[in-house]
Amino acid sequence: MERWQGKIAVVTGASAGLGAAISEKLVEEGINVVGFARRKEKIEELAKNIKSKNGAKLHALKVDVTNEEEVVNAFKYISENIGTVSILINNAGIVQLTTLIDGDSNLWKKVLDTNVLGLCIATREAVKIMMKNNIDGHIIHINSLAGHRVPKIPYTNVYSASKYAVTSLAQTLVNELRSKGSKIKVTSLSPGYVETEIAEVNGFLMNAAVRELEAKAPRMYPIDIANAVAYVLSTPPHVEVTELSVQPVGELS
Ligand SMILES: NC(=O)c1ccc[n+]([C@@H]2O[C@H](COP(=O)([O-])OP(=O)(O)OC[C@H]3O[C@@H](n4cnc5c(N)ncnc54)[C@H](OP(=O)(O)O)[C@@H]3O)[C@@H](O)[C@H]2O)c1
Protein backbone atom coordinates (compact mmCIF):
# COMPACT_ATOMS: atom_id res chain seq x y z
CA MET A 1 0.00 0.00 0.00
CA GLU A 2 3.00 2.34 0.44
CA ARG A 3 2.91 3.55 -3.15
CA TRP A 4 -0.56 5.02 -2.59
CA GLN A 5 0.40 6.99 0.56
CA GLY A 6 -0.63 10.64 0.22
CA LYS A 7 -2.34 9.99 -3.13
CA ILE A 8 -6.00 10.78 -3.88
CA ALA A 9 -8.85 8.29 -4.26
CA VAL A 10 -12.41 9.13 -5.29
CA VAL A 11 -15.07 6.90 -3.74
CA THR A 12 -18.60 7.27 -5.11
CA GLY A 13 -21.44 6.53 -2.68
CA ALA A 14 -19.23 7.28 0.33
CA SER A 15 -22.06 8.24 2.69
CA ALA A 16 -23.12 4.73 3.72
CA GLY A 17 -22.48 1.01 3.54
CA LEU A 18 -19.53 -0.26 1.51
CA GLY A 19 -18.49 3.22 0.31
CA ALA A 20 -18.25 4.58 3.87
CA ALA A 21 -16.22 1.56 5.03
CA ILE A 22 -13.91 1.72 1.98
CA SER A 23 -13.36 5.48 2.52
CA GLU A 24 -12.54 4.93 6.17
CA LYS A 25 -10.13 2.08 5.41
CA LEU A 26 -8.27 4.08 2.74
CA VAL A 27 -7.83 7.12 5.02
CA GLU A 28 -6.57 4.79 7.77
CA GLU A 29 -4.02 3.53 5.21
CA GLY A 30 -2.81 7.10 4.53
CA ILE A 31 -4.72 7.69 1.26
CA ASN A 32 -6.67 10.94 0.83
CA VAL A 33 -10.26 10.25 -0.14
CA VAL A 34 -12.81 12.46 -1.88
CA GLY A 35 -16.22 10.96 -1.18
CA PHE A 36 -19.15 11.61 -3.52
CA ALA A 37 -22.79 11.27 -2.40
CA ARG A 38 -26.04 13.19 -2.34
CA ARG A 39 -25.97 13.11 1.49
CA LYS A 40 -22.70 15.03 1.82
CA GLU A 41 -23.32 15.64 5.53
CA LYS A 42 -23.06 11.89 6.25
CA ILE A 43 -19.55 11.84 4.74
CA GLU A 44 -18.61 14.90 6.82
CA GLU A 45 -19.84 13.11 9.93
CA LEU A 46 -17.78 10.02 9.05
CA ALA A 47 -14.69 12.19 8.46
CA LYS A 48 -14.82 13.47 12.05
CA ASN A 49 -14.28 10.02 13.56
CA ILE A 50 -11.62 8.51 11.28
CA LYS A 51 -8.19 7.53 12.67
CA SER A 52 -6.17 8.96 9.80
CA LYS A 53 -2.61 7.89 8.95
CA ASN A 54 0.02 10.49 7.94
CA GLY A 55 -2.57 13.30 7.91
CA ALA A 56 -4.71 11.73 5.16
CA LYS A 57 -8.15 13.35 4.91
CA LEU A 58 -11.67 12.43 3.86
CA HIS A 59 -13.19 15.27 1.81
CA ALA A 60 -16.93 15.34 1.10
CA LEU A 61 -18.50 16.49 -2.16
CA LYS A 62 -22.22 16.62 -2.91
CA VAL A 63 -22.44 14.72 -6.17
CA ASP A 64 -25.33 12.83 -7.71
CA VAL A 65 -23.68 10.37 -10.10
CA THR A 66 -26.75 10.42 -12.35
CA ASN A 67 -26.05 14.12 -13.04
CA GLU A 68 -23.24 14.25 -15.63
CA GLU A 69 -22.51 17.93 -15.06
CA GLU A 70 -22.10 17.41 -11.31
CA VAL A 71 -19.68 14.52 -11.85
CA VAL A 72 -17.61 16.42 -14.43
CA ASN A 73 -17.48 19.53 -12.20
CA ALA A 74 -16.51 17.45 -9.16
CA PHE A 75 -13.45 15.98 -10.93
CA LYS A 76 -12.52 19.47 -12.16
CA TYR A 77 -12.85 20.82 -8.60
CA ILE A 78 -10.61 18.04 -7.26
CA SER A 79 -7.89 18.71 -9.87
CA GLU A 80 -7.95 22.45 -9.16
CA ASN A 81 -8.27 22.37 -5.37
CA ILE A 82 -7.19 19.02 -3.93
CA GLY A 83 -4.83 17.24 -6.32
CA THR A 84 -4.54 14.56 -8.99
CA VAL A 85 -6.79 11.51 -8.73
CA SER A 86 -4.90 8.17 -8.68
CA ILE A 87 -7.69 5.78 -7.62
CA LEU A 88 -11.40 5.61 -8.43
CA ILE A 89 -13.77 3.31 -6.56
CA ASN A 90 -17.08 3.19 -8.45
CA ASN A 91 -19.31 2.10 -5.59
CA ALA A 92 -22.56 4.14 -5.78
CA GLY A 93 -25.37 1.76 -6.60
CA ILE A 94 -29.07 1.22 -6.07
CA VAL A 95 -31.73 -1.45 -6.51
CA GLN A 96 -35.44 -0.69 -6.96
CA LEU A 97 -38.60 -2.51 -5.97
CA THR A 98 -39.92 -3.26 -9.45
CA THR A 99 -40.61 -6.08 -11.89
CA LEU A 100 -40.05 -6.61 -15.60
CA ILE A 101 -43.55 -7.83 -16.39
CA ASP A 102 -45.46 -4.85 -14.96
CA GLY A 103 -42.68 -2.54 -13.75
CA ASP A 104 -42.25 1.22 -13.85
CA SER A 105 -39.72 2.24 -16.51
CA ASN A 106 -38.70 5.28 -14.40
CA LEU A 107 -37.42 2.89 -11.73
CA TRP A 108 -35.53 0.85 -14.36
CA LYS A 109 -33.95 4.06 -15.65
CA LYS A 110 -32.89 5.13 -12.14
CA VAL A 111 -31.02 1.84 -11.67
CA LEU A 112 -29.33 2.01 -15.08
CA ASP A 113 -28.47 5.73 -14.73
CA THR A 114 -26.83 5.14 -11.34
CA ASN A 115 -25.22 1.70 -11.65
CA VAL A 116 -24.17 1.87 -15.31
CA LEU A 117 -24.04 5.41 -16.74
CA GLY A 118 -22.89 7.06 -13.48
CA LEU A 119 -20.05 4.52 -13.34
CA CYS A 120 -19.12 5.16 -17.00
CA ILE A 121 -19.06 8.95 -16.56
CA ALA A 122 -16.95 8.85 -13.38
CA THR A 123 -14.58 6.37 -15.05
CA ARG A 124 -14.16 8.57 -18.14
CA GLU A 125 -13.34 11.63 -16.02
CA ALA A 126 -10.86 9.74 -13.80
CA VAL A 127 -9.10 8.06 -16.75
CA LYS A 128 -8.71 11.43 -18.52
CA ILE A 129 -6.95 12.86 -15.44
CA MET A 130 -4.76 9.77 -14.92
CA MET A 131 -3.66 9.64 -18.56
CA LYS A 132 -3.00 13.38 -18.77
CA ASN A 133 -0.76 13.14 -15.68
CA ASN A 134 0.91 9.79 -16.59
CA ILE A 135 -0.50 8.11 -13.50
CA ASP A 136 -0.63 4.30 -13.42
CA GLY A 137 -3.79 4.47 -11.34
CA HIS A 138 -6.43 1.94 -10.36
CA ILE A 139 -10.16 1.85 -11.14
CA ILE A 140 -12.25 -0.51 -9.01
CA HIS A 141 -15.87 -1.20 -9.95
CA ILE A 142 -17.95 -2.49 -7.04
CA ASN A 143 -19.86 -5.07 -9.00
CA SER A 144 -21.91 -7.92 -7.45
CA LEU A 145 -22.28 -11.67 -7.74
CA ALA A 146 -25.56 -10.60 -9.40
CA GLY A 147 -23.32 -9.42 -12.24
CA HIS A 148 -22.26 -13.01 -12.89
CA ARG A 149 -25.41 -15.02 -12.15
CA VAL A 150 -29.06 -14.04 -11.76
CA PRO A 151 -30.05 -14.17 -8.07
CA LYS A 152 -33.18 -16.08 -7.09
CA ILE A 153 -34.41 -13.05 -5.16
CA PRO A 154 -37.54 -11.13 -6.19
CA TYR A 155 -37.14 -7.66 -7.75
CA THR A 156 -33.48 -7.99 -8.74
CA ASN A 157 -34.27 -7.91 -12.49
CA VAL A 158 -32.82 -4.64 -13.78
CA TYR A 159 -30.30 -4.56 -10.90
CA SER A 160 -28.77 -7.85 -12.01
CA ALA A 161 -28.75 -6.65 -15.63
CA SER A 162 -26.98 -3.45 -14.54
CA LYS A 163 -24.29 -5.50 -12.78
CA TYR A 164 -23.83 -7.78 -15.82
CA ALA A 165 -23.18 -4.51 -17.65
CA VAL A 166 -20.51 -3.65 -15.06
CA THR A 167 -18.80 -7.01 -15.72
CA SER A 168 -18.72 -6.20 -19.41
CA LEU A 169 -17.65 -2.58 -18.89
CA ALA A 170 -14.68 -3.61 -16.70
CA GLN A 171 -13.39 -5.93 -19.43
CA THR A 172 -13.89 -3.35 -22.17
CA LEU A 173 -12.12 -0.72 -20.06
CA VAL A 174 -9.05 -2.99 -19.74
CA ASN A 175 -9.00 -3.48 -23.52
CA GLU A 176 -9.36 0.24 -24.29
CA LEU A 177 -6.62 1.17 -21.79
CA ARG A 178 -4.23 -1.48 -23.14
CA SER A 179 -4.83 -0.30 -26.70
CA LYS A 180 -3.51 3.10 -25.56
CA GLY A 181 -0.51 1.53 -23.79
CA SER A 182 -1.87 2.58 -20.38
CA LYS A 183 -0.92 0.68 -17.20
CA ILE A 184 -3.99 1.86 -15.27
CA LYS A 185 -5.36 -1.23 -13.51
CA VAL A 186 -9.03 -2.24 -13.55
CA THR A 187 -10.73 -4.50 -11.03
CA SER A 188 -14.30 -5.74 -10.90
CA LEU A 189 -14.97 -6.59 -7.23
CA SER A 190 -18.08 -8.73 -6.85
CA PRO A 191 -19.52 -9.20 -3.37
CA GLY A 192 -22.25 -11.58 -2.28
CA TYR A 193 -24.62 -10.37 0.43
CA VAL A 194 -23.29 -7.62 2.70
CA GLU A 195 -25.37 -6.17 5.53
CA THR A 196 -25.87 -2.47 4.68
CA GLU A 197 -28.83 -0.10 4.34
CA ILE A 198 -29.31 -1.06 0.66
CA ALA A 199 -32.33 -3.32 1.22
CA GLU A 200 -34.03 -0.96 3.65
CA VAL A 201 -33.37 2.32 1.80
CA ASN A 202 -34.69 0.85 -1.44
CA GLY A 203 -37.89 -0.43 0.19
CA PHE A 204 -37.04 -4.13 -0.15
CA LEU A 205 -37.72 -4.97 3.48
CA MET A 206 -41.37 -3.86 3.05
CA ASN A 207 -41.86 -7.12 1.14
CA ALA A 208 -42.48 -10.04 3.54
CA ALA A 209 -40.81 -12.67 1.31
CA VAL A 210 -37.65 -10.59 0.91
CA ARG A 211 -37.64 -9.75 4.64
CA GLU A 212 -37.71 -13.45 5.46
CA LEU A 213 -34.90 -14.24 2.99
CA GLU A 214 -32.81 -11.36 4.35
CA ALA A 215 -33.21 -12.44 7.98
CA LYS A 216 -31.82 -15.92 7.22
CA ALA A 217 -29.15 -14.93 4.71
CA PRO A 218 -25.48 -15.54 5.53
CA ARG A 219 -23.82 -12.15 5.42
CA MET A 220 -20.63 -10.16 5.30
CA TYR A 221 -20.08 -6.68 6.72
CA PRO A 222 -18.81 -3.53 4.93
CA ILE A 223 -15.35 -3.89 6.51
CA ASP A 224 -14.95 -7.25 4.71
CA ILE A 225 -15.28 -5.49 1.35
CA ALA A 226 -13.06 -2.59 2.49
CA ASN A 227 -10.38 -5.20 3.29
CA ALA A 228 -10.84 -6.74 -0.18
CA VAL A 229 -10.32 -3.29 -1.75
CA ALA A 230 -7.15 -2.83 0.32
CA TYR A 231 -5.87 -6.24 -0.88
CA VAL A 232 -6.53 -5.40 -4.54
CA LEU A 233 -4.77 -2.03 -4.19
CA SER A 234 -1.81 -3.60 -2.40
CA THR A 235 -0.86 -5.87 -5.31
CA PRO A 236 2.45 -4.94 -7.01
CA PRO A 237 2.35 -2.77 -10.17
CA HIS A 238 2.73 -5.76 -12.53
CA VAL A 239 -0.22 -7.69 -11.01
CA GLU A 240 -3.82 -6.90 -11.97
CA VAL A 241 -6.71 -8.54 -10.12
CA THR A 242 -9.26 -8.23 -12.90
CA GLU A 243 -12.08 -9.98 -11.03
CA LEU A 244 -12.46 -10.73 -7.32
CA SER A 245 -15.59 -12.44 -6.00
CA VAL A 246 -16.16 -12.43 -2.25
CA GLN A 247 -19.11 -14.11 -0.56
CA PRO A 248 -20.15 -15.08 2.95
CA VAL A 249 -19.47 -18.66 3.94
CA GLY A 250 -22.78 -20.50 3.65
CA GLU A 251 -24.14 -18.44 0.73
CA LEU A 252 -25.18 -20.67 -2.17
CA SER A 253 -23.49 -20.26 -5.56
N1 LIG B 1 -25.01 -4.75 0.14
C2 LIG B 1 -24.86 -5.79 -0.66
O3 LIG B 1 -25.27 -6.92 -0.34
C4 LIG B 1 -24.13 -5.65 -1.97
C5 LIG B 1 -23.75 -6.82 -2.63
C6 LIG B 1 -23.10 -6.72 -3.84
C7 LIG B 1 -22.83 -5.48 -4.39
N8 LIG B 1 -23.22 -4.36 -3.72
C9 LIG B 1 -22.93 -3.07 -4.37
O10 LIG B 1 -22.18 -2.29 -3.48
C11 LIG B 1 -22.43 -0.91 -3.74
C12 LIG B 1 -22.78 -0.21 -2.44
O13 LIG B 1 -23.95 -0.83 -1.90
P14 LIG B 1 -24.33 -0.71 -0.38
O15 LIG B 1 -24.88 -2.02 0.03
O16 LIG B 1 -23.23 -0.10 0.40
O17 LIG B 1 -25.55 0.31 -0.50
P18 LIG B 1 -26.10 1.45 0.48
O19 LIG B 1 -25.77 1.13 1.90
O20 LIG B 1 -27.51 1.66 0.09
O21 LIG B 1 -25.22 2.71 0.04
C22 LIG B 1 -25.33 3.20 -1.28
C23 LIG B 1 -24.43 4.39 -1.46
O24 LIG B 1 -24.58 4.84 -2.81
C25 LIG B 1 -24.87 6.23 -2.79
N26 LIG B 1 -25.69 6.60 -3.94
C27 LIG B 1 -26.85 6.04 -4.37
N28 LIG B 1 -27.32 6.71 -5.44
C29 LIG B 1 -26.42 7.71 -5.68
C30 LIG B 1 -26.34 8.76 -6.63
N31 LIG B 1 -27.30 8.92 -7.56
N32 LIG B 1 -25.29 9.60 -6.60
C33 LIG B 1 -24.33 9.46 -5.65
N34 LIG B 1 -24.35 8.49 -4.72
C35 LIG B 1 -25.38 7.64 -4.73
C36 LIG B 1 -25.59 6.47 -1.47
O37 LIG B 1 -25.39 7.82 -1.08
P38 LIG B 1 -26.52 8.97 -1.07
O39 LIG B 1 -27.85 8.31 -0.86
O40 LIG B 1 -26.11 9.83 0.07
O41 LIG B 1 -26.37 9.65 -2.38
C42 LIG B 1 -24.81 5.54 -0.55
O43 LIG B 1 -23.63 6.18 -0.11
C44 LIG B 1 -23.54 -0.87 -4.79
O45 LIG B 1 -22.98 -0.68 -6.06
C46 LIG B 1 -24.16 -2.25 -4.68
O47 LIG B 1 -24.78 -2.65 -5.87
C48 LIG B 1 -23.86 -4.41 -2.54
Residue 250 inside a domain? The answer is no
**The ligand 1 atom nearest the CA atom of 16:** 43
Range of the domain at 88: 2-245
Q: Is 41 in the pocket of ligand 1 (CB under 6 A)?
A: no
The answer to whether residue 212 sits within a structural domain is yes
Residues recognised as catalytic: 159
Residue 198 resides in a domain: yes
User: Each residue's pLDDT tens digit in the chain (253 positions)?
Assistant: 899 999 999 999 999 999 999 999 999 999 999 999 999 999 999 999 999 999 999 999 999 999 999 999 999 999 999 999 999 999 999 999 999 999 999 999 999 999 999 999 999 999 999 999 999 999 999 999 999 999 988 888 999 999 999 999 999 999 999 999 999 999 999 999 999 999 888 788 888 888 898 999 999 999 999 999 999 999 999 999 999 999 999 998 7
Our count of domains for the chain comes to: 1
CA distance 205 to 153: 12
What percent of the residues of the chain are helix, what percent strand, and what percent coil, each to the nearest 5? 50, 15, 35
Instruction: State the Cα–Cα distance between residues 24 and 19, nearest whole angstrom.
Output: 9
Give the Å distance between the CA of 239 and the centre of ligand 1: 28
**Position 157 in a domain:** yes
In a domain, 252, yes or no: no
CA of 83 from ligand 1 middle (Å) equals 25
User: In this structure, is residue 253 part of a structural domain?
Assistant: no
| pTM assigned to the model | 0.98
Residue 35: phi and psi, rounded to 5, are -95, 130
Instruction: Check if 94 has its Cβ closer than 6 Å to any atom of ligand 1.
Output: yes
Angstrom CA distances, 203 to 37, 64, 95, 96, 200, stand at 19, 20, 9, 8, 5
CA distance 232 to 82: 24
* Pairing of β 185-191 and β 32-37: unpaired
Does any domain span residue 210?
yes
Between the CA of 15 and the centroid of ligand 1 the distance, in Å, is 9
Instruction: Give the CATH number of the domain where residue 93 resides.
Output: 3.40.50.720
Q: Is 197 in the pocket of ligand 1 (CB under 6 A)?
A: yes
Residues 6+ away with beta carbon under 8 Å from 227: 25
